[in-house]
Structures are given as C-alpha cells and as structure tokens.
C-alpha cells in the first residue's frame, strides 16, 4: 500500500464542524495536561513546605519597640 501523490499532498477537506471539534479536543487536552502538571507541582511544593516546617523549630517572637501611637492609647 503506497501513498500516491494525490493522497499525500491533497488530503480530503474537513468540514468546519470537524475542524472545530479537532481544535476543541486538542485545546481541552492541552489544558488538562497543564492542569495536571500544575496540581502535581502544587502538591510537591506543599509536601516540601510541610517537611521543612517540621524540621525547623518555630521562630521565637521578638520583643518589639512600642510605637508612639501605642503609647497614646
């Protein structure tokens, strides 16, 4: 089964609905891939942050200076 010149260079014309459906399917596929990648990255970063928080001790609160507005109240 060899491809002829007509089959290779002149594919059958698609209807507007077929083109729109193909474009829609492709766009939805790309969006789904990006969403999955973003959710995986978020989960990975959340796990890293939680792991880091468990390893580090909680910071001690600093004693700050009183401001002039706090003195007037």
Residue 23: its pLDDT value, please? 95
For residues 10 and 3, give the distance between their C-alpha atoms in angstroms, rounded to a whole number: 11
Whether the CB-CB separation of 31 and 39 falls below 8 Å is answered with no
Residue 72: its pLDDT value, please? 63
Residue 14: its pLDDT value, please? 81
Tokens 């891939």 belong to residue: 33
How large is the greatest C-alpha to C-alpha distance in the chain, in angstroms? 93
Per residue in 8-43, pLDDT tens?
Answer: 776 678 899 999 999 999 999 999 999 999 999 999
User: Which residues, at least 6 apart from 22, have a Cβ–Cβ distance to it below 8 Å?
Assistant: 14
Residue 28: its pLDDT value, please? 98
In the chain, how many H helices and how many E strands?
Answer: 3, 0
- Please tell me the pTM assigned to this model: 0.55
């Amino acid at each position: 089964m060899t491809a002829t010149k007509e089959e290779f260079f002149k594919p059958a014309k698609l209807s507007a609905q077929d083109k729109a459906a193909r474009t829609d399917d492709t766009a939805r596929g790309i969006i789904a891939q990006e969403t999955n990648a973003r959710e995986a990255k978020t989960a990975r970063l959340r796990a890293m942050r939680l792991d880091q928080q468990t390893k580090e001790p909680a910071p001690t609160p600093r004693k700050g200076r009183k401001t002039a507005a706090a003195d007037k109240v």
